[in-house]
Amino acid sequence: MRSRLLLSTKHISLLASTPNRFWPAIAQWSYKSVLLRNTRPILARGFLSSVANNLVPGTRNLSESNSSKSLTLEEQIPNLYIDKLPEGSETTPDGYVTASFYSFFNIESKSLVQLRYDLLSMNTHLDKVSTRYKIGPQDPQFLTLLKAQIEKDPHPYVSFSIPIKKIQIVTGRIYVHELGINAQVSFDKEYVRAFRLMLETIPELANKVPAFNFALANKRAFKKLHVRIRPLVAAGQDLSLDILANEPEYLDPSEWHRQIDNLQHNTLQKQGGIQNDSDTPVLIDMRNIYENKVGKFVGAECPDVDTFREEIDVVKKMYPKDKPIYMYCTGGIRCSVAGAILKSEGYQSVKTLRGGVVAYGQWIKEKDASSTSPVESLYVGLNFTFDKRLGERVTSDVLAHCQQCGQPNDTYTNCANKTCNLLFIQCPSCKTEHLNTCGSKECIDAVTHPHSSKKPTIHSYHERIRPDLVINH
């Protein structure tokens, strides 16, 4: 059984008088369980940090805090104001905005668990400041007090058993890995600076998180905050920072628009096909088949694949290494990875849309709002999203059809029968007629006579994202 350390008031006093030279050894207790008398277990690292900051004079953290008092908050955190809220965020129906960001850099594997806890504790920090000082993010002192709260208690207790009873200020899905971070988040728009501050005060993330890539639809897209230690993308092969250093050429939305517009008018055939000579550029949609079914760039090649790892294999088989390649995806990370893989394997010209369809859609919105001559979008339809929105509109074009009645429609839904969970396109009439299910007798019975017991899913992953294999068969 793992040994446990019982700390009484006497022990705490001894720690307070411990010379600084012994603290590196004490820090080795970081991941051991510490029991305070008559209290619940807490992470030793967080407890010891608190002791060091509050009881031990002259420690490194305390001296850093004192030296920073002479600096402004912006001088202490240079990236504090790099995030600009998108057009229309002032009218968001629930006060939330959704954004994504990713970055490739080294994180020591032994730091990942604590990084996960630090990210999960962001809402705790916000709640403590609001509760203790009775102020909100509009107060000029909020950010200063938030930073002080984090310095005082950088690793608060995180419970996985206590139910979350209210809507969190920060929600989303964050993946951390030895190669970096990949995040899709929703947060109250009033807390955009606070959210940035919390990220920047985590040592592993300081000065490594780029400006947020804000979504086109301004509303909360996640129920609560999840942070997982897992690969950033499922590439189907081992990745390293050396491979990812082979970056494709990034084009911002305006330059991408200019080059793709030229490509469409001069080299792509009207039907969206491509010429076969190796000198002619190809435009590739690096998303899955169900994503490009509801929206895409005109003239793009859309491989018939279900996963990202399949997409990379198809590109390698279809195109020679001397063929110029343009590629795009939802938010950019898949093309960053795919482009790096292709470049590392000898592909000569790989260009990608920085920020993906999300950034391009924002650029189109800004041009429409600020220009007397709006730019015609080269992307048509919806941009599929992997959250409860299941898509955000870029243009009014409807490319798909209801998979139950055949009427033009591009609204994705999941079958209300959780054991089916089929992802398919359904119009409002069919949603009412089939009770938001795929229409099978089993699924209609399941939602009209629900059972409390959980059952395994009845479809494989490939069937669930290809409803034509299931509906009406």
pLDDT tens digits along 245-295: 999 999 999 999 999 999 988 765 444 444 456 788 999 999 999 999 999
pLDDT of residue 51: 40
pLDDT of residue 163: 76
Series of mean pLDDT values for 10-residue runs along the chain (473 residues): 42 48 43 35 41 38 53 93 89 92 98 98 97 96 97 91 85 98 97 98 98 92 96 94 98 98 74 59 95 96 92 94 96 97 97 97 89 86 89 95 96 93 95 95 91 68 71 64
* Strand duo 325-328 + 350-353: pairing: parallel
Domain 241-361 belongs to what topology? Oxidized Rhodanese; domain 1 (3.40.250)
Residues 6+ apart with CB under 8 A from 258: none
Task: For residue 332, give both structure tokens.
Answer: 């950019």
pLDDT of residue 342: 98
pLDDT of residue 68: 56
Q: Please list the active-site residues.
A: 329
Domain 73-229 sits in CATH at 3.30.70.100
Sign for the CA dihedral angle at 56, 61, 62, 63 comes to: positive
pLDDT of residue 28: 42
* Strand duo 33-36 + 225-229: pairing: unpaired
pTM of the model: 0.80
Using DSSP, state whether 306 is helix, strand or coil.
coil
pLDDT of residue 472: 63
Contact at 8 Å (CB) between 427 and 411? Answer: yes
CA gap 299, 290 in Å, rounded: 17
Task: For residue 101, give both structure tokens.
Answer: 């960001």
Residue 44 identity (one-letter amino acid): A
pLDDT of residue 394: 95
CA gap 369, 386 in Å, rounded: 27
CA gap 9, 15 in Å, rounded: 10
pLDDT of residue 85: 94
Q: Which run of H or E residues covers position 180? A: strand 180-188
Q: pLDDT tens across 289-323, in order?
A: 999 999 999 999 999 998 999 999 999 999 999 99
In which residue ranges of the chain is CATH 3.30.70.100 found?
Answer: 73-229
Q: What is the DSSP letter of 20?
A: G
In which residue ranges of the chain is CATH 3.40.250.10 found?
Answer: 241-361
pLDDT of residue 279: 80
Q: What is the DSSP letter of 285?
A: E
pLDDT of residue 217: 84
pLDDT of residue 390: 85
* Strand duo 225-229 + 170-177: pairing: parallel
Residue 215 identity (one-letter amino acid): A
CB-count burial class (<10 Å; 0-12, 13-18, 19+) for 354: buried
pLDDT of residue 277: 66
CA gap 135, 141 in Å, rounded: 9
Q: What angle do CA 388, 393, 394 make, to 5 degrees?
A: 140
Other residues' Cβ atoms within 10 Å of the Cβ of residue 231: 13
Other residues' Cβ atoms within 10 Å of the Cβ of residue 178: 17
**E strand segments, 69-121:** 96-104
Other residues' Cβ atoms within 10 Å of the Cβ of residue 388: 12
CA-wise closest residue to 49 among 97, 101, 142, 121: 121
Sign for the CA dihedral angle at 83, 84, 90, 94 comes to: negative
Residues 6+ apart with CB under 8 A from 264: 298, 299, 378
CA gap 38, 238 in Å, rounded: 47
* Strand duo 325-328 + 412-414: pairing: unpaired
